[in-house]
Every structure is written in C-alpha cells, then in structure tokens.
Structure 1
Amino acid sequence: MIKWFAAFVGLMFYGYRGAILGFIIGSLIDSLTSSRGGFKIFSEEERVTPGDFELHLLTLSAIVIKADGKVSQQEMDYVRNYFVQAYGKERANAVFRTFNDVVKDRQLDERRISQFLAARTQYAARLQIVHFLFSIANADGSVSQAEAGKIRQIAGYLRIGVKDYESLHAMFFKTTDNAYKILEIEKSATDAEVKKAYREMAKKYHPDKLQHMDEAYRKGAEEKFRKVQEAYEQIQKERGL
C-alpha cells in the first residue's frame, strides 16, 4: 500500500516521473513490511489493484475534507482512525504524515478519480464509498452544504442513482420525511409499500454484500444497514404498525 501513496505524493509534487520514482521507493518499503489483503470489490471486466482502490479512496476523502475551504481535525481523525482499524497504527501514521500535506496544499480531480472507480467497481461498493464520504464530512458534527454538494458531484461521477444518493443523504440530514427518503419512498406510501421498501433496502444494504472487504469498511456498511432499520422502525411507530 505504501508504494501507492509514495507514487501519489510523487505525482502531486513532481509529475509522472515523480510518481514512478515514488512507486519504486514505496515498493522497497512495502517489501520490508507485512501486508494485508485489500478490497476485493472490483468488476470482472476490468480490475484495479487493492492499492489503486485505497489510493483513490484516500484522494476522494481529501477532496471532501477540503470542500468547505477548511481542513477539519475531526474529519482528518475520522479518516486516520479508519486506516488504523484497517492497517494498524504504525502503518497508518506513516501514511498520514504524507496525507496531511496532500489535503492542505493540492488540488485534486474528483471527476477523473470517480469515473475510474465507476468503471471498475461494483455498485454496492460505490454506495459504500458515498456513505463513507458522508461519514467523513459528518465527523465534525454536521455536513456542510459545500461538502454535501461535493459528495453529490462525486456520486454522480460514480454513477450512483438519484434515489440511492438521496437515501444516503437523508441518513445525515434530519428532516420530517428523512425516514421515507432513506427507504426511497414517498410519505404517502401505503403500509404495504413501506414494508416492501424496507425489505428491498435491507437486501440492498445488507452487510453480507461487503463481507469480503476490510473490517473498517464493513462497519460502515453495518451503520448504513442500521439506518435503514431505524427508518423503518420510526415509520412503524408513527403509523402504529
């Protein structure tokens, strides 16, 4: 994994030659450290390496953190904690010494990165990416309009459907009808339609769909699934079901 971050830093500061040099140096470091398996969530047609995925996920995280014009320590810590859970404290600390500089000083291209992932990852994984980005933005207590707008752009580039995006958005913005939005139905839906929507959403967001991913990422999937359950329970209570 370190080789990809070294390549990323080299690209940001010195262009493609720097990326090649960084990759070589990072590969030497990787060869001296233990390694875990990465995300196995890629499409059969066109695969990317786990290192590619991790690099692009980190870059999208940086873009969201910078979206409102400031770098929130809580948001940085949220991303750091994710990588600590996934890869261990020592390795995560080494990565974030580089990450801190990247998010503060560089302009990053979310369209290119997102379209790259959209062509190579499964839809369930892309839904989880958007949820992960919302979780980062919410780490300081609220998701700003600038952050939500940036995540919406990224979701579009990731080819996330409008209803799916609105469902994820509703998990972080409390409104009078957010439970219905989470289940992707109108407030006027019948009781039968509510039950059907819950079954469909529970199936779509069930953590088992992402059981092949790292533990830290699976926890995000479990949180999303829990939001669906809470939305259904809220509607049940309101309607006396």
Structure 2
Amino acid sequence: MLRWLLAILGYFLYRFPGAIAGFFIGSLLDNISVRGKTFQTSFGSTRQQVTPADFELNLLSLASLVIKADGKVSQTELDFVRQYFVQAYGKDRANATFRVFNEVIKNREISAQTIGTLLRQRTRYESRLQILHFLFSIANADGTVSTAEVNEINRISGFLGVFARDFESIKAMFFKNPDSAYKILEIDRNATPAEIKAAYRTMVKKYHPDKLTHLDEAHRRGGEEKFKKVQEAYEQIQKERGF
C-alpha cells in the first residue's frame, strides 16, 4: 500500500515527523483510490474509512497496551503477538505492520478510547468479542493473567462496546475456579437444568464458528477456542448436576 511506502520513505528523510506525515498522506491517497467502494476487512468492517492496514495497526496498538499493563514487557507475550500476526496476515504483511508500528506509533501515546470507539462503530459485534479473546490470550501467554491486565482489557472492552456479561464470559475462559463454567454460560450457580440448556443454546449461537467465516485463519481458530470452551463448560455442569 502507498501509505507504507510513504511512511518508510518519510522516516528515512525526516525521521519520525516524516514517517507520520508520509503515513497520513498515503492514507489519504489510498482512500481516494478506493472512493465509492466498500470492502470488508478481516474483522468485518464495511466502512470505507477503515482499511485492513488501519485495523492491523489498531489491533497491534491494543495488544501493546495489554503487554505493558502490568509494568513489565514479557517476551513470551511479544512472541505470541508476532506469531498471531504472522498466522493471520502472512510474514511479509505482519513484518510491515510491526515496522510501521515501531517507527511511527510505538513512542506515541496510544488512546484505547479512540481505537475502541473506531472499532465499535465499524466492526461487527462478534468480531469485537474475538478481539477481546485475543487480548486475553496475549495476557495468558506467559501463563498468568494479572489483575492489571484484566483491568486494562476491561477498560478496552468498555470502549469496544462489549456487554459486561460477555466480558465476564470470555474472562472466565482464562480462569479456573468453581464458578468458571457458569460464568462462561452467563448463568448463576442456582440455574435450573432448563435454564442451563437454554443458556447453552444461546451461547452456541453466539460463538458458533460459522459467524466468523469472514475472518482470517488465526482469528477463526480463536473463535473455535471460544466455542470449545462453551461446550466444555456445559459438559462440566452436566456432570456436576447429573442431567
């Protein structure tokens, strides 16, 4: 894309100010070149103003906020993000995204509110749920999801417009405790068998992989993980309650 070329060229000529100027000039020219057309990004955007490149940078920016949330940068979490991007977008495209992020955005203040608002307006709800699952997966890459990371993801979740019950459901997929299975299905421990079955059917519809066919392979795989957690939660409750 033209924006990448101008950003890199601007960086070599005028360092960071040149990179920023080149990126936004390239963005403008890219938008002009596709004026009147709509397209679908890997996360289901149907707005002309959000290109796949824009989305990837925004996703990487949110990932950086989670990685830094607990005051330390985990190499395991960094490796997870890089591997995820390579699987989702291919090595060359992923490297280009990381390069522009490092040269243009990394040292600037990243606004979770601005990014969350943009994605809330221009992506499907199930796509935003997958973003949330991706962020929890990053936090869990080193084996522990810290309180600071949970709080940061919760903050981002609010900007993304994700309902609190869906946040708690996805969060429960990364914590093992007696209430996890119930939280995944978004029900109370005193729910009746009929209520549990109804909740399971609702969650199956919400997280069914067919809703994510517009995503790239890595994102679809994450969606399948959520679906599997719902099935495991239901089977666990069935076993505990004997129905």
Structure-1-length-normalised TM-score: 0.84
The alignment covers a number of residue pairs equal to 229
CA apart distance, 1:92 = 2.7
Aligned to 1:92: 94
Q: Deviations over 1:170-193 (max 9, x none)?
A: 111222111000000000000011
Task: Identify if the C-alpha distance between structure 1 residues 127 and 4 changes in structure 2 by more than 3 Å, giving closer, same or farther.
Answer: farther
Aligned to 2:20: 19
Contact 1:2 1:95 in 2 (8 A): no
Aligned to 2:69: 67
CA apart distance, 1:202 = 0.6
Distance (Å, rounded) in 2 between the aligned partners of 1:105 and 1:196: 48
SS of the residue aligned with 1:96?
helix
Distance (Å, rounded) in 2 between the aligned partners of 1:138 and 1:103: 24
Aligned to 2:224: 222
CA apart distance, 1:108 = 1.2
- Greater shift in the superposed pair: 90-99 or 125-134: 90-99
Aligned to 2:213: 211
Distance (Å, rounded) in 2 between the aligned partners of 1:92 and 1:51: 10
Aligned to 1:54: 56
Task: Identify if the C-alpha distance between structure 1 residues 18 and 219 changes in structure 2 by more than 3 Å, giving closer, same or farther.
Answer: same
Distance (Å, rounded) in 1 between the aligned partners of 2:133 and 2:197: 23
Q: Is 1:131 aligned with 2:133?
A: yes
Equivalent residue letter for 1:146: A
Give structure 1 stretches of 5+ with no counterpart.
Answer: 28-36
Distance (Å, rounded) in 2 between the aligned partners of 1:220 and 1:68: 24
Contact 2:181 2:234 in 1 (8 A): yes
State the identity as a percent: 59
Distance (Å, rounded) in 2 between the aligned partners of 1:39 and 1:4: 19
Q: Is 1:156 aligned with 2:166?
A: no
Distance (Å, rounded) in 1 between the aligned partners of 2:105 and 2:195: 44
Q: Deviations over 1:9-61 (max 9, x none)?
A: 97x943xx64231356799xxxxxxxxx84151257x7622222112111111
Contact 2:113 2:156 in 1 (8 A): yes
CA apart distance, 1:101 = 6.8
Aligned to 2:44: 41
CA apart distance, 1:91 = 3.7
Distance (Å, rounded) in 2 between the aligned partners of 1:186 and 1:231: 13
Contact 1:43 1:122 in 2 (8 A): no
CA apart distance, 1:72 = 0.8
Aligned to 2:115: 113
Distance (Å, rounded) in 2 between the aligned partners of 1:235 and 1:91: 43
Give structure 2 stretches of 5+ with no counterpart.
Answer: 29-39
SS of the residue aligned with 2:162?
coil
Equivalent residue letter for 1:19: I
Structure-2-length-normalised TM-score: 0.83
CA RMSD of aligned residues (A): 3.0
- Greater shift in the superposed pair: 152-161 or 17-26: 17-26
